[in-house]
Amino acid sequence: MGISIWLSMPWLSDLSHIIGPFPAYFFIAFIAIIPGFMNAFVAMALMLDRRPKVIVDQRYPPVTILIAAYNEEGSIASTLSGIFLQDYPADIRVIVINDGSSDKTVDSVKALQSAHPNLELINLGRNGGKASALNHGLAKCTTDIIISIDADSYILKDGISHLVGRYLSDPINTKAVAGEILIRNSRENWITKAQEWDYFLGIATIKRIQSLFQGTLVAQGAFSLYDRKTVVELGGWPEMVGEDIVLTWKILDAGYRVGHAEDALAFTDCPNTLRKFVNQRRRWSRGLMEAFKTTPKILFKPRLSTLYIWWNTLFPFMDIAFTFGFIPGLILACFGIYWIVGPMTLSLLPMAFLLNWQMYLKGRAMFRSENLKVRANALGFVFYVFAYGLILQPACVYGYFSELFNLRKSWGTK
């Protein structure tokens, strides 16, 4: 990072004369210096990471799975079939909370109940949002462990075993474990193809490293395990658009640890249109802002995971710098004006490739341990590397400003 600052001094001097010192410092810091440091940190952390093995001989307790469903008639049967095929060595109780669906979600669940006595249905009269639905299910839980699953997610047959096994093998203060979310509809179009790499490389790596630092920052609602008593003590899922991240931060703020099971695999449907993708990332960004507003003291907790909490304070600035600095700079570069983006930018491509290759090797090794093969998706990778950020970062900025100006919130079920 020190070398990068030194090398950027001529750039800083030239850019300051054009746009002023403060904007120049801001753009260079949040487009180049800080992201470069973070990438170097991630690369080193991946090289040093040695994940503890799951303890083999242990007693697996019964678990309860909560599924909040809203208009999921096309996917709920597939999700439940994946749960019924689990090789988990103890009882699995499944509670589906129908959140006021207007389609045949209820009929799809009822059709399976006769063959599966552990399947229960809570039918809510109106749509109240995912957090409300999960809390209705939480009130019916009696097991010490609860697992939340999205209604359009398919869990690999050993997913529950791996998730609970990691929880039982992790430090005693672990109160939640995030599973690994991957994309199953990646063949639909270019936006789903690009998201496949985002989940397989970026999101998976971040969770892996955060757990290395004793605090995964999002136990996502799509597939995560929670200690029931802890969730109850913290008031259940908060009724916010980012209910999963806010709950996770409450767990961390209470002094507990959140782990990550990289081999507990859930395949989910990602947004398949640009509008749905933007709305999803806007929602996630609002969730981050909600987490800071709900648990501000977490910034000052003396623990390893606090490093990543502080990193999250920088993401809005990096997204703003990318949206209002790098993207316009890219357009200017097309006309030969190299104020922000220029020929030197191309020198970063080999380093970016090496970092992504390092992430890929970690993911491929995990897939091989599960007897899976990484599917070829060259076109998606090209979109992911060269075009994905042009949509992702502005969508995040949209989310930050939506929360800042308290625009209308839409929960949905994800």
The pLDDT assigned to 57 comes to 84
pLDDT (tens digit per residue) in 280-329: 999 999 999 999 999 999 999 888 889 889 999 999 999 999 999 999 99
In the predicted structure, residue 177 carries a pLDDT above the cut 90: yes
Q: What is the mean pLDDT of the chain?
A: 93
In the predicted structure, residue 120 carries a pLDDT above the cut 90: yes
Mean pLDDT of 267-272: 94
Give 318's contacts (C-beta < 8 A, 6+ positions apart): 30, 31, 34, 35, 393
Q: Where are the domains of the chain?
A: 63-300
Give CA–CA dist 379/385, Å, rounded. 10
Residue whose entry in the numeric block shows the structure tokens 């009269």: 125
Percent of the chain topping pLDDT 90: 83
CA 24 and chain centroid, separation: 32
Q: Helix, strand or coil for residue 201?
A: helix
In the predicted structure, residue 413 carries a pLDDT above the cut 80: no
Mean pLDDT of 114-120: 94
Mean pLDDT of 119-136: 94
The pLDDT assigned to 225 comes to 98
Mean pLDDT of 152-168: 95
Q: Helix, strand or coil for residue 93?
A: strand
pLDDT (tens digit per residue) in 369-411: 999 999 999 999 999 988 999 999 999 999 999 998 888 776 5
Nearest to 264 by CA among 297, 224, 206, 207: 224
Mean pLDDT of 63-80: 95
pLDDT (tens digit per residue) in 74-97: 899 999 999 999 999 999 999 999
Level-2 CATH architecture, domain 63-300: Alpha-Beta Complex (3.90)
The pLDDT assigned to 411 comes to 52
pLDDT confidence tier of residue 339, bands split at 50, 70 and 90: very high
In the predicted structure, residue 242 carries a pLDDT above the cut 60: yes
pLDDT (tens digit per residue) in 21-45: 999 999 999 999 999 999 999 999 9
8 A C-beta contact, residue 360 and residue 176: no
In the predicted structure, residue 265 carries a pLDDT above the cut 50: yes
8 A C-beta contact, residue 226 and residue 321: no
**Higher-confidence position of 413 and 106:** 106
pLDDT confidence tier of residue 158, bands split at 50, 70 and 90: very high
Mean pLDDT of 138-153: 96
Retrieve residue 394's tokens: 């502005």
